[in-house]
Structure 1
């Protein structure tokens, strides 16, 4: 696993946790949190697979 792939594997769950936390605090709507999670997973998967 390269450094870039390791970084993606670490940062993507952090983004997901922050999106869920912001949703629970009422800062984000459900659609916004879902969009953030889906976008981060899609970007991480695309970058991880092309490395």
Structure 2
């Protein structure tokens, strides 16, 4: 999987997503909304893998 260098740190797409989710959870989003974020992310990862292969 691709990685991105941000401020001297290298993050994978999944790691960046988890950081994003920590922020969203901290904002107090509903559990259903959080679950939708995870479902959509998994769906997009599947699409990306089809494009790359």
TM-score (normalizing by structure 2): 0.56
Structure 1 segments unaligned to the other structure (5+ residues)? none
The ranges of structure 1 where at least 4 consecutive aligned residues each deviate by more than 3 angstroms after the TM superposition are: none
Matched positions, count: 44
1:2-50 C-alpha deviation (Å, 9 max, x unpaired): xxx414xx2233213422x222x25211111111111011101111122
Greater RCO (CA < 8 Å, at least 6 residues apart)? 1
Q: Which protein has the larger Cα radius of gyration, Structure 1 or Structure 2?
A: 2
- State the Cα RMSD in Å: 2.3
Bigger fraction of residues in strand:
2
Bigger fraction of residues in helix:
1
In the other structure, the counterpart of 2:42 is 41
- How far apart, CA to CA, are the structure 1 residues paired with 2:17 and 2:44? 12
TM-score (normalizing by structure 1): 0.57
